[in-house]
Amino acid sequence: MGLLTGKKAIVFGIANEKSIAWAIAQAFRREGADLAVTYANETLAKRVIPLAESVGASLVLPCDVRDDDDIKAVFARVERSWGGLDTLVHSVAFANKDELKGSFLNTSREGFSLAMDISAYSLVALAKGAHPLLKERQGSIITLSYYGGQKVFPNYNVMGVAKAALEMSVRYLAEAVGPDGIRVNAISAGPLKTLAAAGVGGFNQIAGHVAEKAPLRRNISQDEVAGAALYLASDLSSGVTGEVHFVDSGYNIIG
């Protein structure tokens, strides 16, 4: 018996084989969950569809999280196939590249709003869309954050503000859906070289610093994040909600 045998899970945010969302999707399948995955656009579809097929995902659906109709269509499809949902994984973030470097003072109104919409509000929108399905089965919602939402890091800029909003949304959502038996938690992952991280400045320096200073003296892997996601998706964490759980080699405790 797997940890998630009999459970139905949907994962938002796979871009390629380095995605945290992909490590989580694989772990969920390994532990017996039925899986739905979404892709944000046609470019990503070319990578995501073959990956989804390779693990035997039941559903592969388009979803731009800015679009309420897309979100509605996804959960209508899940409802038709499964009638309920046990786990929703939100591993989605975006900010304009030119605002992920230099001074935070250069953040534009449009850039701020876009980063907040895709990286923070989308969790609320997905939670709202999935609520009737999750309520059916005392489901668990998991999102991905980064320590740059709590402390200032060079270049993270507007994304740090969005992660702060995301982490607080986890707490408000946890309170809102707790009476229905639904749990909401975040995993704050250490630096991982994903497609989102590619091409944004300062990654190597931060990862190097973690390897030097973190209690474990190394960086983490996607699989270690997936391990925490398995725990938060499974009944092992039935008493845990509103948490931001660090998977970061302990870096966040160092002053």
Active site residues: 146, 156
Compute the least distance from the CB of residue 145 to ligand KAL, in Å: 8
Task: Please select the residue that binds ligand KAL; options are 9, 10, 11, 15, rule is CB under 6 A.
Answer: 15
At residue 115, the 3 state secondary structure works out as: helix
Size of the site for ligand KAL (CB under 6 A): 21
DSSP state of 8: E
Compute the least distance from the CB of residue 52 to ligand KAL, in Å: 16
As to burial, measured by CB atoms within 10 angstroms (0-12 exposed, 13-18 middle, 19+ buried), residue 180 is middle
Q: Over the Cα atoms of the chain, what is R_g?
A: 17
Cβ proximity to ligand KAL, 94 vs 112, nearer residue:
94
Q: Do 248 and 20 meet the contact criterion of CB atoms below 8 Å apart?
A: no
Task: Please select the residue that binds ligand KAL; options are 22, 156, 246, 251, rule is CB under 6 A.
Answer: 156
Q: Is 202 in the site for ligand KAL (CB under 6 A)?
A: yes
Q: Is 148 in the site for ligand KAL (CB under 6 A)?
A: yes
138 φψ region: left (φ > 0), alpha (ψ -120 to 50), beta (else) = left
Give Cα separations from 177 to 132, 140, 144, 254 (angstroms). Answer: 10, 10, 19, 33
Please give the single-letter amino acid code of residue 220: I
Task: Please select the residue that binds ligand KAL; options are 49, 164, 176, 195, rule is CB under 6 A.
Answer: 195
Q: Is 153 in the site for ligand KAL (CB under 6 A)?
A: yes
Interaction mask 127-146, ligand KAL, x per CB under 6 A: -------------------x
Compute the least distance from the CB of residue 27 to ligand KAL, in Å: 19
Task: Please select the residue that binds ligand KAL; options are 33, 100, 116, 186, rule is CB under 6 A.
Answer: 100
State the DSSP string of 137-166. TT-EEEEEE-GGGTS--TTTHHHHHHHHHH
Q: Is 206 in the site for ligand KAL (CB under 6 A)?
A: yes
Query: 202-228 in b/e burial notation, b at 16+ Cβ within 10 A?
Result: ebeebbeebbeebeeeebbebebbbbb
Cβ proximity to ligand KAL, 111 vs 129, nearer residue:
111
Q: Is 114 in the site for ligand KAL (CB under 6 A)?
A: no
Q: Is 63 in the site for ligand KAL (CB under 6 A)?
A: no
Q: Is 95 in the site for ligand KAL (CB under 6 A)?
A: yes
Distance of alpha carbon 25 from alpha carbon 209, whole angstroms: 29
- Sheet containing 140-145, strands listed edge to edge, beginning at the edge strand earlier in sequence: 59-62, 34-39, 8-12, 87-90, 140-145, 183-189, 244-247
Q: Is 74 in the site for ligand KAL (CB under 6 A)?
A: no
Cβ proximity to ligand KAL, 97 vs 217, nearer residue:
97
Return residues touching ligand KAL (CB under 6 A).
15, 93-97, 100, 146, 148, 153, 155-156, 159, 191, 195-197, 200, 202-203, 206
